[in-house]
Structure 1
């Protein structure tokens, strides 16, 4: 097939996207596909025309565009199939506050939260007890995120977010261990436990992408009951958000065993250190096999 590999883009996560694209490009060629690289930041005006000449599009974008559903909407217009969620589901999952409403509707625990906008200002009243996380309502890779322990530090954390995004998600701090659960097709993959390096307060950008940034243990050393519970919650969230193909959700688990779903990623990272490829490898799928399966699922679900 003629596959266009869409990566790069203009978000703050551009470098992560390009890093993953290199490995994906190799895998696509190993699968026998004719690959054309396409960067929306350089040639967005030709996306529709390029997509109409392709048999399939493999999207490796993070943030906007890509996770917001814009690229998927253009591909739908072109009649070009692609892996993963469609435009509406992509946008719903990218918006952390909106997706949290979906989790709460399913009775899935998620940390208490509030939205603060520039209209309210950096001195808006805080409805949650400290400490809190402050993060862009739309975005990923922990970019722009702060752990605020003192009230006087909140305005600076909000300023950081407002420089990137029009709204800030302020979220209850849940102490515990972080677990992530990937979905592939209609099955949940093994859980991965994430242990940031000792001097890190949370799983930040450096921890996520540095080769020695964190210990990632797969399968996670937790009970079968907790594993089944988190996998079930993740499958339910995946379906309720309207996602297809694949996704990955991040959970915090307290010492008492309560799991809180933080967010769901519709275009999980595909770098050499990424989590979903690690989980897929544990069930026998090489990176190239994983790319092939995502293409199969994309064609089967017929997003375009």
Structure 2
């Protein structure tokens, strides 16, 4: 009997369109002879819409952004109703950004006791919040570039003091980031104080918490992690953006980035990257997948930049490409992740709550 698989995508975040592209790619790789696949679409406004079973891969993201019947139930009620009717065996979240990979949806699925693909509540929320992530990395003893952080209220009340602190602790150029967003949305490079203020104001449009880091002259190298309690790592890949940094357009729109896979690093550096990626995965209590991003200097000094607990997942995204070059093609990667999600859920069912 086929497993009933719910593809969960869309969402309220700035990465809504990225999620739709991921869902489209997933339908083109899934085995329709093995799974009964149902689309579960979350609109930009946060409404949940459950579609009819897919019988073939979709050809455009427009097919996935379907409309609601005028007399249908509103919000998440439709999804809850469908649980009784369809009895999903596993949910595959393909949500990026806020209310998608930050632990909120994962917590909802935990309450419903539904198996799902990918990281749990802790790994998702800590991996989404760059400040919490960095603090956990410090506990794990992972080297990082100097950074500081603050919230919107502090910026409005003591902007001059915060700027002075940043200029004392950090050096230009600085990178300013929303703490809780991915795909480089709202990220800016600041070469002086005027640009720093502009960058903070931009980042505050996307989040109330801001991270500011010292820029470092280094190569950007990434490594994919796959597994549960015994994670494995892929070959490393190097990002070579032709723009000032690896921003949103470089990732998704203008093809202005070169990828070197495997990255031209020494065996010792690759071993260090693998070890650090696994340590980051484990300190987050990861499950399923993580992409770990690093800076590697000319002297082969390594800094962990961040991890992404639900990285870009189209066939041309870095995470699947890394595994393809390690010998695991896209369709088999998806199958592996589904099995890992079911495995982690089965393990949780052994816990006693009274």
TM-score normalised per structure 1: 0.95
Structure 1 position 130 matched with structure 2 position 172: yes
From 219, 232, 236, give the equivalent of 1:177.
219
Tell me which of 134, 144, 149 is aligned to 1:100: 134
Cα distance in 2 for residues equivalent to 1:226 and 1:31? 42
Distance of 1:255 and 1:31 partners within structure 2 = 50
Q: Which residue of 2 aligns with 1:23?
A: 25
Deviations 1:54-104 (A, max 9, x none): 110001111111211111111112221111111122101111011111111
Q: 1:45 matched to which residue of 2?
A: 76
Alpha-carbon displacement from aligned partner over 1:237-280 (angstroms, at most 9, x marks no partner): 10011111110011111111111111111111112320111111
Would the alpha carbon gap of residues 293 and 31 (structure 1) be closer, same or farther in structure 2, given more than 3 Å must change? farther
Q: What's the CA shift for 1:207?
A: 1.1
Partner of 2:207: 165
Deviates more, 1:268-277 or 1:114-123: 114-123
Q: Which stretches in structure 2 are left out of the alignment for 5+ residues?
A: 49-74, 350-354
Local SS of the residue matching 2:155: coil
* Equivalent residue number for residue 333 of structure 2: 290
Pair 1:49–1:235, CA change in 2 (3 A) = farther
Task: Look up the SS of the partner of 2:152 in the other structure.
Answer: coil
User: Are residues 217 and 211 of structure 1, via their aligned partners in 2, closer, same or farther at CA, if it must alter by over 3 Å?
Assistant: farther
Equivalent of residue 300 in structure 2, options 257, 266, 269: 257
Q: Say if 2:89 and 2:114, in contact at 8 Å, map to a contact too.
A: yes
Q: Is 1:75 aligned to residue 109 of structure 2? A: yes
Residue 281 of structure 2 corresponds to 238
Are 2:122 and 2:284, in contact at CA under 8 Å, matched by a contact in 1? no
- Note the aligned Cα RMSD (angstroms): 1.5
Counterpart residue number, 2:154: 120
Could you tell me whether the CA contact under 8 Å between 1:30 and 1:288 is conserved in 2?
no
Aligned length: 302
Which residue does the alignment assign to 2:55? none
1:190 aligned onto 2:241: no
SS in 2 for 1:12: coil
Distance 1:2 1:110, change over 3 A: same
Give the TM-score normalised by the residue count of structure 2.
0.82
**What secondary structure does 2:114 align onto?**
coil
Report the CA distance shift for 1:173/1:63 in structure 2 as closer, same or farther (over 3 A): same
Superposed displacement of residue 288, structure 1: 0.8
Pair 1:3–1:171, CA change in 2 (3 A): same
**Residue in structure 2 matched with residue 56 of structure 1 by the alignment:** 90
Query: Residues 50 and 115 of structure 1: is their aligned pair in 2 closer, same or farther, counting only changes over 3 Å?
Result: farther
Moved more, 46-55 or 1-10: 46-55
- 1:9 aligned onto 2:43: no
Per the TM alignment, residue 283 of structure 1 is displaced from its structure 2 partner at its CA by 2.3
Partner of 1:145: 187
Conserved in 2, the CA contact under 8 Å of 1:31 and 1:292? no
CA positional deviation for 1:222: 0.7
Residues 31 and 102 of structure 1: is their aligned pair in 2 closer, same or farther, counting only changes over 3 Å?
farther
- Deviations 1:9-56 (CA, angstroms, capped at 9, x unpaired): 010011111111101022224462111111222315134444452110
Larger Rg: 2
SS at match of 1:230: helix
Give how far 1:110 is off: 1.0
Note the alpha carbon deviations across 1:96-128, whole angstroms, 9 max, x for none: 011111111122111111112211226233232
